[in-house]
Amino acid sequence: MRPTSHTDIISYVRAHSGHSHVILIDPDDASPDVAAQRCIAAVAAGSKMIFVGGSSGTDEDNVHPTVVAIQEALELCKWNSSQDAGLSENAWEVPVVLFPQGAAALSPSADAITFMMLMNSTNPEFLVGEQVRGAPYIRKAGVEPMGMGYVICAPGGKAGEVGQAKLIEADQTDLVAAYAMCAESYGFSILYLEAGSGAETPVHPNLIRAARAASDKLVLLVGGGIRDGATAKAARDAGADWIVTGNLCEEFSNAHELQTTLETFIKELES
């Protein structure tokens, strides 16, 4: 099921840096079928990556069937495109990436994993404990690890609570820059600035600018509380390479409506 053209997913992530959208699927929120429908709508609208995970309520029993359903749906769309000369098969070769709450929320059918250190957690379990537990599984399954520094900014939401994070406030630009330098020094490929799912305010653009200025090597992901294209574009203009949205995609029961909304969102993000 795994897309063969993405053996080195991090090259793909770098190649699409600058103005790309990630759809985040929470297996605790949607059945595998609904998740797959949302992903098809998102990819048709121009999303370039799919994350599967959530801060609570996820384990292999819901993560794995969700990943499988998404991979199967993408394969089917790719096959359909191959039968129609007017559509691009490549458009469906989008990596499905684990964004796990811990070592129990994995799937061998994913293409890659954000192998994260929750850098501002006060609990060593989120710095390295869960990662040590999950590493043998990831190695055996052949899921590509992408080293990622995960930094939670205010307001932080459930991710901040569950991850016991010492939140970064909007004016702590020197601190976020230091985290970026630290992530780069560890050799991570990605830095994710997170405001928390459903956050009332997204990561402040000044924090994004400071992280960007501190490292031009890291791929910068930003998510949490981004609900419209203008906010996404502001994050992009501040230096974000990829914008992650979860809640935005959960508001629609109708896949066509979701696709239309995301088309507008992505057009604005790319403008």
Q: Which residues bind ligand 1GP (CB under 6 A)?
A: 24, 159, 194, 197-199, 223-226, 244-248
How far apart (Å, rounded) are the C-alpha atoms in residues 149 and 121? 11
Shortest CB 169 distance to ligand 1GP, Å: 18
Distances (CA, A) of 47 to 55, 98, 268: 22, 16, 13
Instruction: CB nearer to ligand 1GP: give 95 or 223.
Output: 223
Shortest CB 266 distance to ligand 1GP, Å: 14
Distances (CA, A) of 39 to 32, 77, 160, 237, 238: 10, 11, 26, 26, 27
Does the N-terminal peptide bond of residue 155 adopt cis geometry, omega within 30 degrees of 0? yes
Instruction: CB nearer to ligand 1GP: give 53 or 134.
Output: 53
Shortest CB 247 distance to ligand 1GP, Å: 4
Q: Which residue's beta carbon is nearest to the bound ligand 1GP? A: 223
The distance from CA 246 to its chain's CA centroid, rounded to whole angstroms, is 9
Instruction: CB nearer to ligand 1GP: give 3 or 53.
Output: 53
Shortest CB 54 distance to ligand 1GP, Å: 8
Instruction: CB nearer to ligand 1GP: give 77 or 159.
Output: 159
Shortest CB 188 distance to ligand 1GP, Å: 17
Instruction: CB nearer to ligand 1GP: give 2 or 204.
Output: 204
Shortest CB 142 distance to ligand 1GP, Å: 25
Instruction: CB nearer to ligand 1GP: give 101 or 131.
Output: 101
Q: Quick one: tokens of 39?
A: 């992903």
N residues, the chain: 271
Shortest CB 58 distance to ligand 1GP, Å: 12
Instruction: CB nearer to ligand 1GP: give 25 or 77.
Output: 25
How far apart (Å, rounded) are the C-alpha atoms in residues 260 and 265? 9
